[in-house]
Amino acid sequence: MFHVSIESLLLLGLWLQRKCCSLGLMLIIFGGIVSCYLPEGFDQPFLQRSSGDQEQQQSPEPQKTGADGNVESEPNSDSGSADPQQLTLNSNPAIIISKNQPVRILLLGDSLTSGYLLASKEEAYPHLTEVMLKAQGYNVEMDNRSIKGLRAEGAVAELRKYFADGASNVTHVFLALGANNGLDILEKMTNTMFSYRASPLHVKIANLELALDTMVHISQRQGAKVMIAGVQIPSIPPAITLLDGGVFMRFHGIFSVVAKKHSIPLWPNLLQGVIGELNLNSADALHPNQKGHKIMARNFYTFLTKQGPPI
């Protein structure tokens, strides 16, 4: 009942404000102050109002068991280098690289993968991972075609062009996209705090899913095995998560949806262990610095090999 009361209070405040009533503004301010002091997880029932989210809440997924019969644990996005089982959700053992076969991985991502704000691409996690893998005897080559500012929709054209140019020796494609799509949504919601409509934003997420699906199909038609990374948007204001109609819950879950749909490996959080850590990020607090990329490289190594990174 308390959830409904807070929601009603905010909606009533919005309506009164549009009627040029000072009471409406007071209710909005009061509701915002109350929401800031709500206990952690308070917003979850409100965010799961859509039928799809309610079904997911009412029918939780059964626990997954490994080959040994033990229950597999869910990934922990708050830690640094993680256990291999935690970094390979929905993984198909045949798609993870091994030492007895040559591997050429195409990485298609944005500034988080291109090495933006670093001195060179050699300091970015793809190259650092390649160096670690080769030192352990893997025959691997990373082809990092990531572009600053790239969104998933634009990446479809980049991928088509890449294969059209005759890149037939690619064995794996790693998709690390969606951060700019998420930031676009956050910017839209922040700039139109009390006047945006959630429906067009859900359309943006649907377009992101379609773009990811398309890139999976393009890669698989070329005989490449596909992997995908999830993206978490940091520092979302509490007022937005309370009123966003489940937009960001759906955004953060879309990568898992795509991975399960196509039975491809998922790196749940590209910035695991790095996001929100000031000493691991550049001055903009968005892009990992050299230290941050070293942690990402260790996580990527674990994700690819299911083994802990070399010391």
Per domain, the residue ranges of the chain are 1-46, 80-305
- Is 70 exceeded by the pLDDT of residue 27? no
308 pLDDT band, cuts 50/70/90, is: confident
Q: Does residue 252 sit in helix, strand or coil?
A: helix
Confidence at residue 199, expressed as pLDDT on a 0 to 100 scale = 76
Q: Which of 293, 306, 310, 304 is nearest to 80 (CA)?
A: 293
The lowest-confidence range among 175-179, 235-239, 294-298 is 235-239
Question: What would the pLDDT profile of 48-83 be if each residue is shown by its tens digit?
Answer: 333 343 333 333 344 444 444 443 433 333 334 444
283 pLDDT band, cuts 50/70/90, is: very high
Which of the pair, 167 or 169, is modelled with greater confidence? 169
- Mention every residue, 6+ apart, whose C-beta is less than 8 A from residue 237: 190
The lowest-confidence range among 29-38, 152-161, 245-254 is 29-38
The lowest-confidence range among 65-79, 82-96, 182-196 is 65-79
CA distance 73 to 64: 8
Which of the pair, 176 or 11, is modelled with greater confidence? 176
- Is 90 exceeded by the pLDDT of residue 222? yes
Q: To the nearest 10°, report the CA torsion of 162, 165, 167, 173.
A: 10
Question: Please, are residues 2 and 46 in contact by the beta-carbon 8 Å criterion?
Answer: no
Q: Which of 48, 52, 58 is nearest to 3 (CA)?
A: 48
H-type alpha helices, the chain: 2-18, 22-36, 44-47, 51-58, 111-114, 125-135, 152-164, 179-191, 198-221, 238-243, 247-262, 290-305
Confidence at residue 95, expressed as pLDDT on a 0 to 100 scale = 44
Confidence at residue 245, expressed as pLDDT on a 0 to 100 scale = 77
CA angle 269, 270, 276 (to 5 degrees): 80
Which of the pair, 248 or 290, is modelled with greater confidence? 290
Please state, rounded to an integer, the average pLDDT across all residues of the chain.
78
Which of the pair, 294 or 92, is modelled with greater confidence? 294
Confidence at residue 34, expressed as pLDDT on a 0 to 100 scale = 52
- The proportion of the chain whose per-residue pLDDT surpasses 70, expressed as a percent, equals 66
Confidence at residue 40, expressed as pLDDT on a 0 to 100 scale = 45
Report the relative pairing of strands 103-109 and 266-267 from DSSP bridges.
unpaired
Among the ranges 8-12, 94-98, 176-180, 196-200, which has the highest mean pLDDT value? 176-180
Report the relative pairing of strands 172-176 and 103-109 from DSSP bridges.
parallel
CA distance 235 to 310: 32
The domain made up of 80-305 is a member of CATH 3.40.50.1110: yes
Confidence at residue 88, expressed as pLDDT on a 0 to 100 scale = 42
